[in-house]
Amino acid sequence: MPGKNLSREEAQQRAAILSVDGYRVHLDVTSAVDPAAVTFRSTTTITFRSSEPGGSTFADLLAPAVRAVTLNGAALDPAAVFDGTRVALDGLAAENVLVVEADCAYSRTGEGLHRFVDPVDGETYLYTHYEPADARRVFANFEQPDLKAPFTFSVTAPAAWDVYANAVHTEVTDEGAARTWQFAPTRPISTYLTAVVAGPYHVERDHYSRESKDGSTLEIPLAATCRKSLAKYFDADEIFTVTKQGLDFFHTEFDYPYPFGKYDQCFVPEYNIGAMENPGCVTFREEFVYRSKVTEAAYESRANVILHEMAHMWFGDLVTMKWWDDLWLKESFADFMGSYGLIGAGTKYTAAWTTFANRRKAWAYRQDQLPTTHPITADIRDLEDAKLNFDGITYAKGASVLKQLVAYVGPEAFFEGARQYFKRHAFGNTVLDDLLVALEETSGRDLRSWAAAWLQTSGVNVLTPQLTVDAEGRITEFAVLQDGEPARPHRVAIGFYERDTDGALVRTERVELDVAGARTVVAELAGKARPALVLLNDDDLTYCKVRFDDRSLATLREALGEITEPLSRAIAWSAVWNLTRDGLVPARDYLDLVDRFAGSESDIGVLQSLHQQSRTALDLYAAPEHRAEGGRLLAACALRELRAAEPGSDHQLAWARFLADTADGAEHLQLVEGLLAGSARIDGLTVDQELRWSLWLTLAAAGRATAEQLNGELELDNTASGRQHLTESLAALPTEAAKAAAWAAVIDSDQLPNALVEAQIAGFAQAGQRQLTAPYAGPYFEVIEQVWAQRSIEIAMRIVGGFFPRFQTDEATLAAADGWLAGHPEAAPALRRLVLECRDDLARALRAQAADRG
């Protein structure tokens, strides 16, 4: 498979004959400050060995031009050996030295070396992002995870800049208008984990020390960076606090010292993902630098991400999967450790598992019910497959299954297995079996059948209580029914709930047991009084969808918000949401539950999930004839709860944002206008810049804001974030011209950076503007193959997923999707997967709407 899309077979063939001894990479980015410059100079020297002297292989490189290629001292003709994606290498020796001098391109898509110019002060910033295979956009290499090597970087940059990389810098040489930064060699790492961050970044520094068992002291310099224009918002002390707590926790649990020297955390602009675990130089999206008030859930989310990336230093960086099939070996563990660590490290974020149960698992449940679902250990044929597998299965389902594994083998056996795994495979590459061997040794359990059931199959099981009750209301038999193939082993807790004297629902009984097969009888519950509520998977030990018996469902309809335990209440909300998505509870019933009980929800993360899910229920799952009534219900609920919330609280801010998202009718829109103008006031509510943009977006989509007013707001906030908000708001205007402009800006041009592509699509796709966007359903199916062929995969994924006509919930749109799939069997598999997933979401919406009509 020639070209960009490296196949697994090619990677295996290359790894079978090559061993890489080291890279020396020099980047000259002094051109970055010139807006007209589109390339930078990259020089790479690779020393490697071949077990097949005289044979052939190739190096990977995506670059506009190659100036020179030298193999073992012999100059090769770039025009003959470089095809735009690969450098052909023939006549290999046993020991080889390859030198490639190239002009590589600055990125506008967040892939490779991304360049950003700050509109506030005109400063230029650079950073790299590579996963899964974009290091080849910056330097020539063997782009696959199992050809690890030490990397020695040097970077020539403008004199006023600082430069960060995986290792500490050893020397900085002044060269007038420029400086060259020399970095120490790294430990052996994969190409996708290398990193360079360069620019006039603001930096805060701290230090971590820990005494080792042998009496020595481990010293880790800490740094945290952001753009200079964000420095006044940068709460580095909080970031360092979580960082130190995490380092303490992982050193204790993993018993393997952090192996990469320093620990920099760089918050960078226009980042495509949450963060990336580059050893020694972790990169985060700068939206984690909060320039306006956010809720505690946002701080918890950032802390979770900090610990997620830190866990990768061991799961992923120290020990790395051989190929992307075993991506879960790093991402599932890091996702699990993000929540586990928040509790274990003693951070102040004690509701981590409640958040996980309600938010992360919702992502997994959705992904696992798509026709494109896959086992946690997936079949990854090529790099396009790998790119799409950074999904809810690999992250959230994998983390859920690991939580189940910890319950199954016990925490000490689990972590002792991890310790053995790190020591055996440090700086190497592994597959599933390597981890299972270690865990079997420490737990004494045969994990092959467990792995076969949980890691090597797809789909989500459904657990339902089955009660037989006598005339006196006593349980004569209690069983747990399991639907879904395969029937997996589950470690579950069953909670019984009754009302107390105050009317609250409190747990009166808890049983923990193993569930296996289609039906499991729970003998110890026989003879108990039938409770008001039976909650399967109480404490969220396993990964499953939960159903209810009739009495329990009736209890939830009357008293869901009165469950006293936050985690149990979150599980109940999650179960009701799954019932709604599955068309077993009408969308209007779910909206009614939100209206009656969301106001009493104490957990701010769960509350914000309810806000998001209720919008989905209204926009996609409510029957068209019920949408207007449902919209009025949510808007009235938002206003009522906003006025009732404690002044200045997180809940007040969440309800204010929900009002901005749901404002319907003159009363609500006039309040929005008044909050912006300052003529209306909610006691304790600060209408800061981010909230102002949310309110402007509401008015723009409702046709109550002009382009001139929106541009006027930009004058108050001429920042990168402000420009993104303006772009979204202009695209949201309810006019044919606005939709045409947004479509053309993304489809007809490749000039927008990734952040503005995302903003254009978000503004274009407004649920309340179905008639305006309907004419684009046909053109969408006409252009997506061309988009996939011509754009980078990151941008193509956003366009294909974002412009899909998901709000055209009718049979005609479903038929159009089916027609495209039937008519394009040879389209790129990754493109077909995206369209198939969007099509499945649409079909689910139609089923839910049919249920809502009943």
**Average pLDDT estimate for 55-65:** 97
Q: What's the pLDDT band for 213 if we cut at 50, 70, 90?
A: confident
Would the pLDDT of 61 be above 60? yes
| pLDDT tens profile 773-788 | 999 999 999 999 999 9
Of the listed ranges 385-389, 402-406, 423-427, 656-660, the least confidently predicted one is 385-389
Average pLDDT over residues 806-817: 97
The token pair that represents 392 in the structure block: 């809810």
**C-alpha gyration radius of the chain:** 28
Give the residue-averaged pLDDT of 670-681.
96
- Angstrom distance (rounded) from CA 7 to CA 429: 18
Token couple for 559 = 């008293």
Which of 27-31, 38-42, 210-214, 475-479 is least confident?
Answer: 210-214
CA geometry: angle 144, 829, 15, nearest 5 deg: 20
- Asked if the model's pLDDT at residue 208 lies above 60, the reply is yes
Q: What is the DSSP letter of 730?
A: H
Name the active-site residue from 101, 131, 309, 384. Answer: 309
Helix (H, G, I), strand (E, B) or coil at 439: helix
664 falls in which pLDDT band (50, 70, 90)? confident
Q: Is 309 a catalytic residue?
A: yes
pLDDT per residue over 105-133, tens digit each? 999 999 999 999 999 999 999 999 999 99
CA distance 308 to 311: 5
CB atoms within 10 A of CB 646: 10
Instruction: Specify whether the CB–CB gap between 385 and 133 falls below 8 A.
Output: no
Tens digit of each residue's pLDDT (9 = 90 or more) over 145-159: 999 999 999 999 999
Instruction: Concatenate the DSSP letters of all residues of 110-141 into one string.
Output: SSEEEEEE-TTT--EEEEEE-TTT-GGGTS-B
CA 641 to chain centre: 30
Task: Write down the H helix ranges in 444-511.
Answer: 448-454
Instruction: Count Cβ atoms below 10 Å from residue 674 Cβ, excluding itself.
Output: 14
Nearest to 518 by CA among 496, 490, 543: 490
User: pLDDT digit string (tens) for 411-467?
Assistant: 999 999 999 999 999 999 999 999 999 999 999 988 999 999 999 999 999 999 999
Report the candidate in 561, 640, 542, 623 with the shortest Cα–Cα distance to residue 588.
623
Task: Say yes or no to pLDDT of 816 above 70.
Answer: yes
Confidence of residue 3 (pLDDT cuts 50, 70, 90): low
8 A C-beta contact, residue 467 and residue 441: no
Which two structure tokens, joined as six digits, stand for 333?
């563990």
278-313: pLDDT as tens digits: 999 999 999 999 999 999 999 999 999 999 999 999
Evaluate if residue 316 carries a pLDDT over 50: yes
Model confidence pLDDT, tens digit, residues 583-641: 999 999 999 999 999 999 999 999 999 999 999 999 999 999 999 999 999 999 999 99
Q: Which two tokens stand for residue 586?
A: 């009408």
Report, as an integer, the average pLDDT of 310-339.
Answer: 95
Cα three-residue angle 850-851-854, rounded to 5 degrees: 95
Strands 112-117 and 57-60: unpaired
The confidence band for 2, taking pLDDT boundaries of 50, 70 and 90, is: very low
Angle in degrees, CA 291, 295, 296, rounded to 5: 115
Residues 366, 377: Cα–Cα separation, whole Å? 18
Instruction: Report the predicted TM-score, pTM, of the whole model to 2 decimal places.
Output: 0.95
Give pLDDT, residue 296. 96
Token code pair at residue 385: 């497959």
Per-residue HEC secondary structure of 463-482 comes to: EEEEEEECCCCEEEEEEEEE
Residue with tokens 């050193």: 251
Grade residue 567 by pLDDT with cuts at 50, 70 and 90: very high
pLDDT per position as a tens digit, 237-259: 999 999 999 999 999 999 999 99
CA distances from 693 to 198, 365, 713 (A): 30, 32, 8
Tokens describing residue 355 = 């958040």
Write the CB contacts of 311 (distance below 8 Å, at least 6 apart in sequence): 250, 333, 334, 337, 338, 341
Query: What tokens does 829 get?
Result: 């598999």
Region 3-11: mean pLDDT is 89
The pLDDT value given to residue 378: 86
Q: Compute the mean pLDDT over every residue in the chain, rounded to the nearest whole number.
A: 96
Nearest to 284 by CA among 261, 262, 254, 309: 309
pLDDT of residue 10: 95
Query: What tokens were used for 119?
Result: 């509109």
Q: Taking the alpha carbons of 668, 673, 675, 680 in that order, is the dihedral positive or negative?
A: negative
What's the rounded mean pLDDT across residues 568-577? 97
pLDDT value at 1 more than 80: no
Distances (CA, A) of 154 to 99, 178, 183, 257, 721: 15, 13, 6, 27, 32
Q: What confidence tens digit (pLDDT) does each residue in 334-366 have?
A: 999 999 999 999 999 999 999 999 899 999 999
CA separation for the pair 183, 352 (Å, rounded): 38
Pair of tokens at residue 488:
């997996």
Which residues, other chains included, contact 62 with Cβ-Cβ below 8 Å and sequence gap of 6+? 4, 84, 85, 104, 112, 134, 136, 137
Q: Is 586 left (phi over 0), alpha (psi -120 to 50) or beta?
A: beta
Torsion of CA 221, 352, 426, 436, to 10 degrees: 170
Give dist(CA 434, CA 841) in Å, integer. 37
Over residues 6-26, the mean pLDDT reads 97
3-state secondary structure of 199: strand
Percentage of the chain exceeding pLDDT 90: 95
Kindly state the average pLDDT of the residues 363-377: 94
